[in-house]
């Protein structure tokens, strides 16, 4: 029986982003790095308030999958694809 390797959502979205010429990614404002066991995204456009200090958010694992999805939705919406 032949088994098929299924791509993770992160890999699929990352491959999609490679084919999209998004200025945020091209200008290196958003960093998407793949490590052996997780994906890390640094997105300076997403800031959150923690206590009194404003932090730049870094996303790992499932939250990275979610953030990639949100970025892709925003990109498609801005380009009027959806």
pLDDT in tens, 30-74: 666 666 666 666 666 555 544 434 444 556 666 666 777 777 777
Looking at the 3D structure of the chain, how many domains does it have? 1
Query: What's the pTM value of the predicted model, to 2 decimals?
Result: 0.32
Look at residues 36, 34, 77 and name the one whose alpha carbon lies nearest to residue 59.
34
**Is residue 18 situated within a structural domain?**
no
**Is residue 1 situated within a structural domain?**
no
**Is residue 6 situated within a structural domain?**
no
The DSSP-derived string for 12-47 is HHHHHHHHS--HHHHTTSSEEEE-SS-EEEEEEEEE
What is the model's pLDDT at position 7? 55
List beta partners, residue 47: 56
**Is residue 11 situated within a structural domain?**
no
59: DSSP letter: E
Domain holding 60, by residue range, is 23-78
């Amino acid at each position: 029986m032949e088994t098929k390797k299924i791509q993770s959502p992160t890999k699929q979205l990352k491959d999609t982003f490679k084919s999209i010429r998004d200025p945020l990614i091209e200008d290196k404002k958003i960093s998407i790095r793949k490590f052996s066991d997780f994906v890390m995204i640094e997105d300076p456009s997403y800031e959150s308030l923690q206590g009194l200090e404003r932090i730049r958010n870094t996303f790992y694992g499932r939250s990275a999958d979610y953030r990639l999805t949100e970025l892709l939705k925003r990109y498609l919406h801005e380009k009027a694809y959806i």
